[in-house]
Amino acid sequence: MKLFRNILSLLLFIALFFSCKNEESLKNVSEVSVSNTTLERVEPPNWWIGFKNTTLQLLVKDDTIGASKPSINYRGVTIDKFYTARSKNYLFIDITIDETVKAGKFDITFTFDDNSKKTHTYELKSREKSAEDYIGFDSSDAIYLITPDRFANADVTNDNGSVNSKTKDTGTSVYFLKETTINRADDYARHGGDIKGITNHIDYIYDMGFTAIWSTPLLTNNMPRSSYHGYAITDLYEIDPRFGNLADYRVLADKLREKGMKLIMDQVANHCGSEHWWMKDLPFEDWVNYQQNFLKKGDLITSNHRRTSNQDSYASKQDKKEMAEGWFVPTMPDLNQKNPFMAKYIIQNSIWWIETIGLGGIRQDTYPYPDKNFMSNWAGAIMNEYPNFSIVGEEWSYNPLLVGYWQNGAKNKDGYVSNLKSTMDFPMQKAMVDGINEVESWDTGLVKLYEGLANDFHYATPKDIMVFLDNHDKSRLFTEVKEDVTKAKMALSYMLVLPRIPQIYYGTEILMNDTAKPGDHGLIRTDFPGGWNGDQVNAFTETGLSKDKKEMQNFTKKILNYRKSSKAIHEGKTVHFAPFMGTYFLFRIKDDETVVHIINKNDKPIRIDLKRYAEVGLEGKTLKNIITGEEFVWGDVINFKEKGSIVLTTKN
């Protein structure tokens, strides 16, 4: 009997234990009966519990849905208000999600005057990690920029896309893609690179020393031509089926996280593609700027591209309007962020991608073009939810005053607060290229680097600015330096020791160029050798690479891998000395680590007196050459046999 009671007690304990475990696992999940039905579109396609901002606005699109009244019967979720639009096929619903609500699925019911109904099953998910754990990029990172169509083709089955796009969890967007051919001989056609092509080569990117990947846009571009570049988006919630699908994108992010790497998403708040699905049925009369011109097939007003009108105290209202409201190009309608529904749509879209993929950052295209007050609100909304996140904005200007204006913390005379952590350093890019190329004189050559870096006094936080030598829009570095390998190494090594976040475009490490047609976008975005079956040259394995290309690849790899653990480069003090006798010395200092970067532009042997640099305190110390491994004792002089750059460190 005693044995029986003991067994019964044990069974009760086990039952209670598993009951508690199940209750624990289900405590944030609510299960109700749902219809599992879908309308044409409900966006965002899902949401999450646990945000600071407990409001959500749904864009609903379906035939005559504007004539219905929505309702939700789910504890903790309430409809505050709903709005009809100019088009009867839209409804916008404001929802409040109570802090106590549980994750789960529920139906949104749409009831019409004749008492007929439509339903859509919506899901609130639990967040995978806390907001503080979304860590953005910073000066400890080195970013590899990739144009995915031109990097590697791992899945030939998606080369032509599909008559149906099936990238959403919520269903299938049925349409015919307008560009379904591959032609690698045409610089402006699609070449077949995809997300899996990036994922398959993460090891190469990691081994090179990069810590983050920024891919140009991967969302659907259902445009009739030149859709490969990604910046004319036609569906903001869908991965282009020619690149893969949502699951592929998440796998890429997950694989990067396993390596301690970050994924940066390229987003576009300024414009969409003219074949975007809503252009055929615009919800409001002011959904895009100059909408009537478009609807009446009149002249399409393009931007005057006078970006200084954002800061210019004397700028006319007309200049400001043409800059902010004109279409970027005739095939890219300008989104009207002053429309509150559009503004909410864009903000929620960015947050949806951060949560869905687990992003490590956003790069925002054409940053000065949208309404600048909206951009402040957009960045502010993201940083409010994700305090450790990072966003970089593209201000394509060589004027540091304009670049600095957009960085959070800038003391702008007009009081503008951007909430933007990082901007792109076009001024330094130009200074580096010009300074390396020019003949040395009082005001040309290395002094351009020296004075370019001196502009840091203007920036709120220089180390949060993203510096680069080339990208998907500008000529390749090797072309810019007239195919001089030594100059390319000078520029690259200098950039990698600056108090900045460095970005390198894919192929720069193997001297890819656009010399045949400098500045031609299609040629700049050349296929990475080895990314396609049958390529005779394979840069991933070094097969077929020339001696110069191999040396450049190894040079880049050694500096990047040293940089990974260099606190002096990440956050150290910067000291540089004015160019002297064709040389330029820069020092990064943190505790017992000093990194020395020296550029020597002299063709003939030269000796430099090191007493000039005594304040750095290196006398008698042994330094190691990061590239060659050779040791050098810092004494009275240093001898240079030939021009080039040297990177030395006091670290063993």
Burial letters 242-271, b for 16+ CB under 10 A, else e: bbbbbebbbebbebbeeeebbbbbbbbbbb
Q: In this model, does residue 2 exceed pLDDT 50?
A: no
- Dump pLDDT digits (tens) for 465-518: 999 999 999 999 999 999 999 999 999 999 999 999 999 999 999 999 999 999
Q: In this model, does residue 28 exceed pLDDT 90?
A: no
Average pLDDT score, the chain: 94
Rounded Cα gap, residues 93 and 352, in angstroms: 17
- Dump pLDDT digits (tens) for 293-311: 999 999 999 999 999 999 9
Confidence of residue 633 (pLDDT cuts 50, 70, 90): very high
16-20, 173-177, 334-338, 517-521: least confidently modelled range = 16-20
- Dump pLDDT digits (tens) for 40-56: 999 999 999 999 999 99
- Parallel, antiparallel or unpaired: strands 391-393 and 422-423: parallel
Which candidate in 394, 425, 470, 480 is catalytic? 394
Residues sharing a CB contact under 8 Å with residue 503, sequence separation 6 or more, in sequence order: 142, 143, 144, 145, 214, 466, 467, 468, 471
What percentage of the chain reaches a pLDDT higher than 90?
92
Confidence of residue 162 (pLDDT cuts 50, 70, 90): low
What percentage of the chain reaches a pLDDT higher than 70?
93
Rounded Cα gap, residues 365 and 329, in angstroms: 14
Instruction: Note the pLDDT of residue 588.
Output: 98
Rounded Cα gap, residues 413 and 160, in angstroms: 52
- Parallel, antiparallel or unpaired: strands 501-505 and 466-468: parallel
Q: In this model, does residue 166 exceed pLDDT 80?
A: no
Rounded Cα gap, residues 107 and 85, in angstroms: 22
Rounded Cα gap, residues 400 and 398, in angstroms: 6
Mean pLDDT of 357-380: 98
Strands (E) located in 88-127:
90-97, 103-111, 117-125
Name the 3-class secondary structure at 203. helix
Which candidate in 155, 194, 235, 365 is catalytic? 365
Helix (H) / strand (E) containing 84: strand 77-84
What is the widest separation between alpha-carbon atoms in the chain? 103
Rounded Cα gap, residues 601 and 439, in angstroms: 9
- Dump pLDDT digits (tens) for 426-447: 999 999 999 999 999 999 999 9
**In the structure encoding, which two tokens stand for residue 577, read together?**
């000395």
Instruction: Note the pLDDT of residue 9.
Output: 53
Q: In this model, does residue 92 exceed pLDDT 70?
A: yes
Instruction: Note the pLDDT of residue 381.
Output: 98
Confidence of residue 652 (pLDDT cuts 50, 70, 90): confident
Mean pLDDT of 224-245: 96
Burial letters 612-637, b for 16+ CB under 10 A, else e: ebeebebeeeebbebbeeeeeebeee
Mean pLDDT of 388-405: 98
Q: For residues 419 and 408, is the Cβ–Cβ distance under 8 A?
A: yes
Instruction: Note the pLDDT of residue 160.
Output: 84
Is 31 a residue of the active site? no
Name the 3-class secondary structure at 6. helix
Mean pLDDT of 586-597: 98
Rounded Cα gap, residues 596 and 497, in angstroms: 9
Instruction: Note the pLDDT of residue 3.
Output: 46
- Dump pLDDT digits (tens) for 95-104: 999 999 999 9
In whole angstroms, how far apart are CA 339 and each of 285, 346, 370? 10, 11, 12
DSSP string spanning 452-519? HHHGGGGSS-GGGSEEES--SSS--HHHHTTT-HHHHHHHHHHHHHSSSEEEEETTGGGT---TTSTT
Model's pTM, two decimal places? Answer: 0.94
Task: Say which DSSP state 131 is in.
Answer: G
Instruction: Note the pLDDT of residue 176.
Output: 75
- Dump pLDDT digits (tens) for 609-628: 999 999 999 999 999 999 99
Rounded Cα gap, residues 75 and 49, in angstroms: 13
Confidence of residue 173 (pLDDT cuts 50, 70, 90): very low
- Dump pLDDT digits (tens) for 313-324: 999 999 999 999
